[in-house]
């Protein structure tokens, strides 16, 4: 089974493709339908941020196993302008694009782990993961 | 992928049948707001039963549809938000503030029947704000 997927994000169609592939991989991992929706939604938000702020980038999906437990790691990466004030970006209600300003803190709440690395002028990488609870 | 819009009496029913791109959602918003004028509709139902994800953009677009249709004198109700979507939206912190929702199509129709029967409702929404109503389209030549 495919354990890594790369989806290049160039247009809104790619957002759809990324979340569909994410859902399919989540199904392989054994996630229930609620978790699949959480995962697909998180991917959708991150992929849209790429399109909105960096215009292009990629989403990487990993199916992983640790201590016989299945999980998924999702990495959204771009070489866009980066986030200047990460702390502020992680506050509910903050956005620089006139959006809802709920993006990143919301995504964090959907997943089990959330890591954000951003270098102004160089780009942003967000890594999130979800584990199968048994 | 275009969302089919069914005209049923005074209402428009848009049934989303698959996952939609941002452009599809924007197209749906445009087409519903336009058709409210063309068909002089009093109510709009957007059925999202088959939607895979309601993320921040989709949520905002649904709100825009409801508010824009409201400015045009039509009541909007979103139906078919299944439990997984509701759970995810709550976690994400999304809301459909100011937008009516109903469990399914049947409840949505019942809601619109009740809402659009209230006297003076249309005047309240569209009367003074829209001094130039769209010209009535010819009914066809058959």
Q: pLDDT tens digits for B85-131?
A: 999 999 998 888 889 999 999 999 999 999 988 665 554 444 444 44
Is B21–A19 a contact, with Cβ atoms under 8 angstroms apart? no
> Is the predicted ipTM greater than 0.90, yes or no?
no
Determine the pLDDT at residue A110. Answer: 96
Distance CA B11, CA B7 (A): 6
Is residue A34 scored above 70 in pLDDT?
yes
Is B22–A12 a contact, with Cβ atoms under 8 angstroms apart? yes
Determine the pLDDT at residue A91. Answer: 80
Q: Kindly list the structural domains of chain B, giving each domain's residue range(s) and its CATH number in brackets, ordered by start.
A: 5-126 (3.30.750.24)
CB-based contact (8 Å) between B93 and chain A?
yes
Confidence of residue A92 (pLDDT cuts 50, 70, 90): confident
Long-range contacts of B66-71 (CB under 8 A, 24+ apart): B66/B96, B66/B98, B66/B99, B66/B100, B67/B98, B67/B99, B68/B29, B68/B33, B69/B32, B69/B33, B69/B36, B69/B44, B70/B125, B71/B125, B71/B126, B71/B129, B71/B130
Is residue A100 scored above 50 in pLDDT?
no
Exposed, middle or buried, A2 (CB in 10 Å: 0-12/13-18/19+)?
A: exposed
Q: Kindly list the structural domains of chain A, giving each domain's residue range(s) and its CATH number in brackets, ordered by start.
A: 4-131 (3.30.565.10)
- Residue B27 Cα, gap to closest chain A Cα (Å): 13
Exposed, middle or buried, A14 (CB in 10 Å: 0-12/13-18/19+)?
A: buried
Distance CA B69, CA B29 (A): 9
Is B92–A34 a contact, with Cβ atoms under 8 angstroms apart? no
């Amino acid at each position: 089974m495919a354990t890594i997927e790369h989806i290049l994000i160039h247009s809104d169609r790619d957002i759809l493709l990324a979340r569909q592939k994410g859902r399919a991989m989540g199904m392989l991992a054994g996630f229930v339908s609620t978790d699949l929706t959480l995962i697909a939604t998180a991917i959708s938000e991150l992929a849209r941020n790429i399109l909105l702020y960096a215009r292009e980038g990629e989403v990487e999906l990993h199916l992983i196993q640790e201590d016989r437990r299945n999980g998924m790691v999702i990495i959204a990466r771009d070489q866009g302008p980066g986030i200047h004030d990460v702390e502020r970006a992680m506050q509910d209600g903050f956005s620089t694009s006139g959006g809802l300003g709920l993006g990143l803190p919301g995504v964090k709440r959907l997943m089990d782990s959330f890591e954000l690395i951003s270098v102004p002028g160089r780009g942003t990488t967000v890594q999130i993961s979800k584990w199968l609870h048994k | 992928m275009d969302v089919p819009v069914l005209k049923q009496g005074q209402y428009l029913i848009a049934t989303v049948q698959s996952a939609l791109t941002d452009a599809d959602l924007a197209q749906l918003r445009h087409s519903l707001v336009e058709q409210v004028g063309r068909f002089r509709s009093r109510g709009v139902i957007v059925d999202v039963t088959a939607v895979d994800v309601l993320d921040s953009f989709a949520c905002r677009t649904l709100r825009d549809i409801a508010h824009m249709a409201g400015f045009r004198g039509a009541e909007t109700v979103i139906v078919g938000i299944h439990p997984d979507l509701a759970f995810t939206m709550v976690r994400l912190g999304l809301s459909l503030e100011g937008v009516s929702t109903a469990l399914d199509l049947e409840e949505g129709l019942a809601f619109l029947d009740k809402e659009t029967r209230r006297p003076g409702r249309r005047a309240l929404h569209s009367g003074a704000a829209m001094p130039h109503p769209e010209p009535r389209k010819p009914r066809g030549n058959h």
